Amino acid sequence: MDNPLRGLNTTGLNRRQVLSLAAMAAAAVPLTACGSGERTRQAGPASSTASASGGSAVINPDRPESALFPYAEAEKLFDSLPWPTTNVPEPTSKVTVTVAIIPGQRHEVRHAQFAKFIKKRHPNIDIKVEVTPFDDFRTKYLTGAASGVLPDIMYSQFQWGQSFIKNNLYLPLDDYIAATPEFNRADFSKAALSYWERDGKLYALGTDSAPKLLFYNKEIFEKAGAKVPDASWTWDKLMEAARGLVSGTGAQKVFGFTPVPKPTSDLTATFLLAHGGRYLTADETKCVIQEPASRDILKRWIDLLIKDKAMPDLAETQATAKVEPFTLGRGALYVGGAWNIVTLLTLPAEQQFDWSLTHVPSGPEGRFTPVLGSAFGITSKTRNPEAAWIVLNSLRSYAGHRFFLDTPPSRLSAFEENLQDLKLDKEVIDTTKDSLHKYGTSDGVLRLPATPKLEDLTKPIWERVMSGSLSVDDGLKQVTERVTPMLAENV
């Protein structure tokens, strides 16, 4: 079979490098439905730090490593990187900084190694890692904040940031940034920071920052005798192509396009802005999904689903659970985040297929793609804010992004190098960079406090639309009625 990515440069990849790619894939986001569902993290291979809670295996704190992340190689990399300095005082006695993360081998093993090696530079700082499953994370720490118990540094997904800020879980970082001359805020993309800004202050620093791209299965296109997509494609062209790429039935069915557009946090930026539509107004205080621009394009998508049967229907979506049909080789076209590059590169040999990617299509109003990501911030309950800043500044520095191999990273200075580490062809790297810089946006991506509740409210309504038991017009009316009362939380 051809290489799974057009132009992928595998020269020089040894077994350990391949295993490292597999580790990143295991820690990466799974291919699932768009929006918030697609940013839901998936736990990787079992492991945790000895100081962690919530982990499923113990790592030796004196020599943290795994077959995928050997200690000696990690230490060599750490020592080679230009770690930052800061003007805040070093602690004069031993302090412990607790860092709350989500599971996954890249997260847990790398954080354990970082905790070990950082003592070379900051001998009075001990780092304790606290691991909590993604699905429990937000509720756990909102509850903890109410009782006055939080870690020093805490993870946040893009949808949670404003809720955490509103509930006073995070401290503003601006004074610490001002005390760190080499910080270089401009090294973060605007979208990468926007989810954690409020009233002119910044509350967290990004880890990854990824645009969505158009992935395609070259084998399906070749079999159909169809031309593969390129940057000239429009959404109209994509829909036309999707109709002609459907084949097979049952478990062998090949879909023309996935995923089905739904009322999720990035619906606007992914599927509506290009047609002049929105789910909510820009200030997220009014639902406008019933307006003609949004209604008309969503009707076309549902026609593609129900009439043309070019996308997975409700039963097919439920049958595949969290496994995106594209990753099974059963989708011709797929709009997904750049983080999925790693997942696809490291599919088991028996699941690999020839695929590539290009820019998302354009529409009458232009080309748009959401830029999504996660971050870490210092909590309002930290007992050692200056030590916490020293740790956070290191974690989210250029060196930190290189050490943790964030893919793609929030810091622009590490962006190309981290993608090059995957041995990707220059064309793929350039497409990803151009998507981020030229038309990537956080506009329309929901992030205000009501956001985490909206998908749960709208999911059963949209499932009825997908099944054909509810018209698009009635579905959008019900979505508006359910969502509107919740938007008061965003004022």
What domains lie within the chain, and their CATH numbers? 15-210+371-438 (3.40.190.10), 212-370+440-490 (3.40.190.10)
CA distances from 280 to 371, 448, 474, 487 (A): 18, 11, 17, 9
CA distances from 255 to 64, 243, 319 (A): 44, 9, 14
CA angle, 185 as apex, 447 and 419 as ends, to 5°? 80
- Phi/psi for 299 (5° steps) reads -60, -40
- At residue 300, the pLDDT reads 99
Tell me the per-residue pLDDT of 340-371, one tens digit each, with 9 for 90 and over. 998 898 889 999 999 999 999 999 999 999 99
Buried b (16+ CB within 10 A) or exposed e, 208-234: bbbbbbbbbbbbbbeebeeebbeeebe
Range 403-427 average pLDDT: 91
Range 116-133 average pLDDT: 97
Tell me the per-residue pLDDT of 258-297, one tens digit each, with 9 for 90 and over. 999 999 999 999 999 999 999 999 999 999 999 999 999 9
- At residue 57, the pLDDT reads 54
Contact 193, 416 (CB under 8 A): no
pLDDT confidence of 78, banded at 50, 70, 90?
Answer: very high
Nearest to 433 by CA among 245, 211, 283: 211
Amino acid at the residue 370: P
- At residue 407, the pLDDT reads 84
- At residue 146, the pLDDT reads 92
The helix (H) or strand (E) run that includes residue 370 is: strand 369-378
CA dihedral over 405, 213, 296, 253, signed as positive or negative? negative
% pLDDT > 70, the chain: 87
Cα dihedral 208/149/176/78 (nearest 10): -50
